Amino acid sequence: GQQLNQSPQSMFIQEGEDVSMNCTSSSIFNTWLWYKQDPGEGPVLLIALYKAGELTSNGRLTAQFGITRKDSFLNISASIPSDVGIYFCAGQLRTSGSRLTFGEGTQLTVNP
Amino acid sequence: GAGVSQSPSNKVTEKGKDVELRCDPISGHTALYWYRQSLGQGLEFLIYFQGNSAPDKSGLPSDRFSAERTGGSVSTLTIQRTQQEDSAVYLCASSLASNEMYEQYFGPGTRLTVT
């Protein structure tokens, strides 16, 4: 199936630092979504992107839909301990209906 | 409004037994998805239902896995003759899947342990 390469696989940062993670693919996506999963919970939608080049913010989170439609990044500014969790990117292909392809996740650890 | 709910939250079963996992999607959502997540891993797509169309079963790992969606709402994922490698968290999600809006909303998952 289609692959999304998400990096980094894990990150260890200090509280207050900014962090960036990204997803890339060889395929063109129509939609990019970013989710966060806390331990023992289902993923929660953070940001949805629908247009190439689109830059969207949600509080301290900013995500961009790459101009080539093959990549997206998520930035978190001024990290806090509750940012800890696994972040997943997901993309929707034009040919896949409403089915999403998920990245493998980025495990974020924030040290106080 | 109410989100996606799943039951049970935890299920421990003996190898060889059948299990049923339930998902109640968000009201009005036409699409429903099942995923499997092994410890520390990403989301493995299993099956998805879209309205009255035939489900996309391409992710089901074996014929021991099946799912139904009754009345376009509640869905049940059934695993027959469970094996230890079936141990995982099973996540359900739903979406409107219309007007090119593809956001999926997840339930809390069912943690299945096969002993």
Residue-by-residue DSSP string for B36-67 = EE-TT--PEEEEEEETTSPPB-TT--STTEEE
Sheet holding B65-69, edge to edge: B5-7, B19-24, B75-79, B65-69
**Nearest residue to B106 (alpha-carbon basis) of A37, A96, A89:** A37
pLDDT at B1: 56
Distance from CA of A23 to the nearest CA of B (A): 14
Distance from CA of A105 to the nearest CA of B (A): 6
Q: Determine contact, residues A83/A14, Cβ cutoff 8 Å.
A: no
B57-104 confidence digits (pLDDT tens): 999 999 999 999 988 799 999 999 999 999 999 999 999 876 667 899
Distance in angstroms (rounded) separating the CA atoms of residues A81 and B43: 24
Give yes or no for A33 touching B (CB within 8 A).
yes
Chain A residues inside the 8 Å CB shell of B45: 99, 102
**Whether the predicted pLDDT of A21 surpasses 80:** yes
Split at pLDDT 50, 70, 90, the class of A84 is very high
The one-letter code for the residue type at B3 is G
